[in-house]
């Protein structure tokens, strides 16, 4: 007599379909979240080290200084002036309000930012980002040459 045939044989293969589904879901999650992780402030920096050229147009220059206590002061003039003061503000919001009003009022203004070396980096970057959001398009940084 022959033993009855087992209709359901054991399968020794691993079912990888659930693993592929999980991998594809993780891939989609990473593809969606990766662009959100990159943030930055867009500024135009010179590509090479060179001397500043004289300006051909009548451009006003607003020199914005960040003190080490987080306060701001600025000077508006025809040249880069680090000693004068035509306005000041104690926080970022007041500074952005005043500087964006100056930029909107004047025809052609370029903003240069200079910061104390002991100033908090986040204050400088938040000031730059706030100015960019307020519509300032010409933004530069001032440094001193090492001696």
What 3-state class would DSSP assign to 111? Answer: strand
pLDDT score at 43? 42
pLDDT score at 122? 83
pLDDT score at 28? 93
Reported in sequence order, the residue ranges of 95-138 that DSSP labels E, i.e. its strands, are: 109-115
Q: What is the pTM of this model?
A: 0.55
Residue 109: which of 73, 65, 66, 140 has the closest Cα?
140
Give per-residue pLDDT as tens, 98-128. Answer: 888 888 887 788 888 888 877 888 888 888 8
Place 46 in a pLDDT band, splitting at 50, 70 and 90.
Answer: very low
Q: Which domains does the chain have, with CATH numbers?
A: 60-141 (3.30.420.270)
Query: For the residues 61-69, what does the mean pLDDT come to?
Result: 83
Is residue 132 within a helix (H) or strand (E), and if so which, with residue range? Answer: helix 121-133
Query: For the residues 4-29, what does the mean pLDDT come to?
Result: 82
Place 25 in a pLDDT band, splitting at 50, 70 and 90.
Answer: very high
């Amino acid at each position: 007599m022959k033993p009855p045939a087992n209709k359901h044989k054991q399968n020794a293969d691993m079912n990888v379909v659930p693993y592929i589904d999980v991998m594809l879901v993780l891939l989609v999650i990473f593809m969606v979240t990766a662009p959100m992780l990159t943030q930055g402030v867009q500024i135009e920096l010179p590509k090479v080290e060179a001397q500043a050229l004289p300006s051909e147009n009548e451009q006003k220059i607003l020199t914005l200084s960040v003190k080490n206590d987080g306060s701001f002061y600025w000077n508006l003039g025809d040249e880069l002036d680090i000693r004068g003061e035509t306005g000041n503000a104690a926080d970022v919001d007041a500074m952005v309000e005043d500087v964006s009003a100056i930029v909107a009022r004047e025809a052609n203004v370029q903003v240069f930012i200079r910061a104390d070396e002991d100033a908090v980096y986040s204050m400088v970057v938040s000031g730059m980002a706030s100015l960019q959001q307020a519509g300032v398009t010409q933004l530069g940084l001032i440094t001193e040459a090492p001696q």
